[in-house]
Structure 1
Amino acid sequence: MSASTRTLRGYPRADGRKGIRNVVVVAYLVECAHHVSRRIVSKVDDLDVHLIGFPGCYPNEYASEMMRAVCTHPNVGGVLLVSLGCESMDRDGLLNHVRDSGRAAQLLVIQESGGTASTIAAGVSAVEQLQEELSRTATVPMALNELIVGTICGGSDGTSGISANPAVGRCFDALVAQGATCMFEETGELIGCENIMAERAATPELGKLIQECVAKAERYYRTMGFGSFAPGNADGGLTTLEEKSMGAYSKSGASQIHGLIKPGDVPPRGGLYLLDVVPDGEPRFGFPNIADNAEIVEMIACGCHLTLFTTGRGSVVGSAISPVIKVCANPATYERLADDMDVNAGKILTGEASLDEVGEEIYQQVLAIAAGERSLSEALGHQEFILTYKSFEPIGPACLPVRQ
């Protein structure tokens, strides 16, 4: 890959990290506050004001940790919390956590603010105040090795594993070589690849943990009675679970795997990391992630500044907080959905470009979006966000071995 000639500028945060965006987040703390929060964001009508939230009323440590992580993500500059007033989420604790991170934050409680209309009006005013504060934020130089990039595949078909996914892998290798942090996940879609990944692990202990991580995903799926192979995958030409797994695996490139993390764990240094998205303990939460955006949210909680989303059949989703770059594997899909696709990896199949050339194009897109250009889903206003119940145990030291 060619060396970067772009100058990245980041928004400095008190914890030393830097953001490539400076968004205001409006976060509902229970589904009962969702409508009011959505109306606040709609009335403000600004691409840099994002709606997120947690629908549940019953407490869940995972959800609480995720909300703390995403509300203090480097791309977030200010936060408005919207509470009904009787949900279990620790709203004051979350508010203090955000303020302690150096960010401006406000809280509205619907039961104390006069109801729907008055809370919406107060919320619009609060967001405008936050925007005014953020407008005074000065940027600072940001190096490529401060960037965290994730990848996910959705709507995969028979072309995904031979064009878009391996092209993302080439981009990942280039980013890792320059000190950036890259993250891949979907452990349920990596069944059968655990031994290959173990061979790439930085230490034998990490390799064993990777094997156990995939075995956990296999047990989870078997217990719940489902797998990662969906009807749409078959309709798109994928024939076996192994074929899908190898295609998903190719997004990781060929670099050494430096660590195994769980949602909310921020990698301590540059390198390639595997994100374990399957809950720990006995299976009890249904699908590990009910949609691709649930996994994007988990990567955001791990600090991802942006996400590379590969698709063969087509997907139009984006994400709140962190931009999504769409890489389309299938040239026919790209032709139909060109307005939603940032990169046409289908050129590999038509002979118009090589794998290395598309990998370079993706790499340049990463730099462009990190430098401030908007991805297509971002410009279209996509701000999907899903957060549900899960349970995870803390990672151990073998998950993050010290690299030599």
Structure 2
Amino acid sequence: MNDLRETTWTGHLRGDGRKGIRNLVLVIYTVECAAHVAQAIAAGEPDTQVIGFPGCYDNPYAIRLILSLARHPNVGAVLAVGLGCEYTQPARIADVVERSGRPAASFFIQDVGGTRSSIDKGKAIVADLRAQIAREVPRVPMGFADLTIGCECGGSDGTSGLVGNPTVGAFFDRLVDAGGTAIVEEIVEMIGLSDIIFDRAVDVRARGELETAYAKAVRYCQEVRQYSVSPGNFAGGLTTIEEKSMGAFAKSGSRPIQGVIKVGETPPWPGLWVMDSVPDPHFMGFGYTNPNDTEGIMDLISGGSQVVLFVTGRGSVIGSPVAPLVKVTGNSRTYRRMIEDMDFDAGRVLTGAVSLDAAALELADMIGAVAAGAQSRPEALGHREYFVMYKHQDEPQTRRECEK
């Protein structure tokens, strides 16, 4: 497949015009006290997944993220379940979802009578929602131009920057050329590359957004006295944050950067975008920037990514809800050692078995198959890890709102 525009499959059309590659019922719990019931409701139910917010008190960042996931193009319907004491109200989530054109329901466990009765009620609701979206959601042609794909890296080693991330970058170039959208984040793993990053901006506006996000990330790392480099990275052959940053930024490919979006904000037009997940500076003590890979993946999904790529050198056993996770490794030994969890071996580029361009096209074929319904390995294994945290970020001012 040399031209991604030639590949098509059938997707699910949402009321906002976006297209999903899955037609899921999402069960959302609004406080940790309701987590067991929500998990039990989703257990054993086909095309049903669960996410939740552990806190009893509201946090605008977390609520924005949850509402973005609830209206994700892969989600067809939502059930919101609460205990009854928390600030976050399930009915308000359901109302926002219904206004997006999706069916939704909600209830408090305290109103239903307890654990067993709530699980029974929830399973009955999920069955009705699943049947409704199977009947009513239109099936439409879909291609790479309809896709938003995010990329995260974690458990990095020397091969991540040499071939793992560059393979994704070469694929992202083709995705953008085909009219699709790519999102990268991890701004704290771009430190040391300011000139290189700023020169990739599509225009003066985008350069200003990148400069602001970069300066905030540097300030943040200085204040918490920690950069995004770990003992595992050192063991894998990386030596400095600048070296890690060079490898991490390679996932962005070579196309112009359209601008910066925040968590829960979808790119307003196609192309390559950078997501800012770093807490805003006036409340820096509240929340951390991506304390684990799972949160970074959730951030990318909140931006509308129907598929997320995860590049790892040393290996990983996580997955994600809502959007399939496709694991790419630049280390062929890791691929062989963890074959049950790894999807794609980019390490073959190092040995000369395939070229970088050929690997990018193979990866595109695999993503096209996943978009058409094939399960990635984390998806088939049942990995649905998620992490929603308290953090402070100002509400994003989208470009559409600014133009009104």
Fold-level similarity (TM above 0.5): yes
Greater displacement, 355-364 / 303-312 = 355-364
Which residue of structure 2 aligns with residue 143 of structure 1? 143
Which residue of structure 2 aligns with residue 297 of structure 1? 298
For the Cα contact (< 8 Å) 1:30–1:87, is it kept in 2? yes
For the Cα contact (< 8 Å) 2:287–2:389, is it kept in 1? no
Q: TM-score when scaled to structure 1? A: 0.95
Which residue of structure 2 aligns with residue 76 of structure 1? 75
- The amino acid of 1:313's aligned partner reads R
- The amino acid of 2:64's aligned partner reads E
2:28, 2:394 → 1: CA distance?
A: 26
| SS of the residue 1:232 aligns to | helix
1:232–1:286 distance in 2 versus 1, CA, 3 Å: farther
Which residue of structure 2 aligns with residue 98 of structure 1? 97
- The amino acid of 2:264's aligned partner reads G
2:65, 2:54 → 1: CA distance?
A: 13
Which residue of structure 1 aligns with residue 179 of structure 2? 179
Greater displacement, 24-33 / 58-67 = 58-67
- How many residue pairs align between the two structures? 400
* Residues 1:66 and 2:65 aligned together: yes
| SS of the residue 2:340 aligns to | helix
1:17–1:375 distance in 2 versus 1, CA, 3 Å: same
| SS of the residue 1:159 aligns to | helix
> Once superposed, what is the RMSD of the aligned Cα atoms?
1.8
Q: 1:329-368 alignment to 2 at 5 Å?
A: 329-368=330-369
1:248, 1:127 → 2: CA distance?
A: 40
Gaps of 5+ in 2: none
2:400, 2:241 → 1: CA distance?
A: 27
- The amino acid of 2:292's aligned partner reads A
2:398, 2:97 → 1: CA distance?
A: 28
For the Cα contact (< 8 Å) 1:340–1:376, is it kept in 2? yes
1:249–1:400 distance in 2 versus 1, CA, 3 Å: farther
1:396, 1:75 → 2: CA distance?
A: 24
Which residue of structure 2 aligns with residue 127 of structure 1? 126
Which residue of structure 1 aligns with residue 260 of structure 2? 260
Greater displacement, 84-93 / 252-261 = 84-93
Q: TM-score when scaled to structure 2? A: 0.95
For the Cα contact (< 8 Å) 2:268–2:399, is it kept in 1? no
**TM-aligned CA deviation for residue 392 of structure 1:** 1.7
**TM-aligned CA deviation for residue 389 of structure 1:** 1.1
- The amino acid of 2:354's aligned partner reads A
**TM-aligned CA deviation for residue 394 of structure 1:** 4.1
* Residues 1:240 and 2:240 aligned together: yes
**TM-aligned CA deviation for residue 45 of structure 1:** 4.1
1:243–1:181 distance in 2 versus 1, CA, 3 Å: same
1:22–1:253 distance in 2 versus 1, CA, 3 Å: same
For the Cα contact (< 8 Å) 1:203–1:401, is it kept in 2? no
1:375–1:400 distance in 2 versus 1, CA, 3 Å: farther
Which residue of structure 2 aligns with residue 210 of structure 1? 210
- The amino acid of 1:92's aligned partner reads A
2:345, 2:65 → 1: CA distance?
A: 33
* Residues 1:191 and 2:174 aligned together: no
For the Cα contact (< 8 Å) 1:6–1:371, is it kept in 2? no
**TM-aligned CA deviation for residue 265 of structure 1:** 1.1
**TM-aligned CA deviation for residue 316 of structure 1:** 1.4
1:149, 1:194 → 2: CA distance?
A: 24
Which residue of structure 1 aligns with residue 108 of structure 2? 109
- The amino acid of 1:8's aligned partner reads W
1:350, 1:196 → 2: CA distance?
A: 28
For the Cα contact (< 8 Å) 2:321–2:386, is it kept in 1? yes
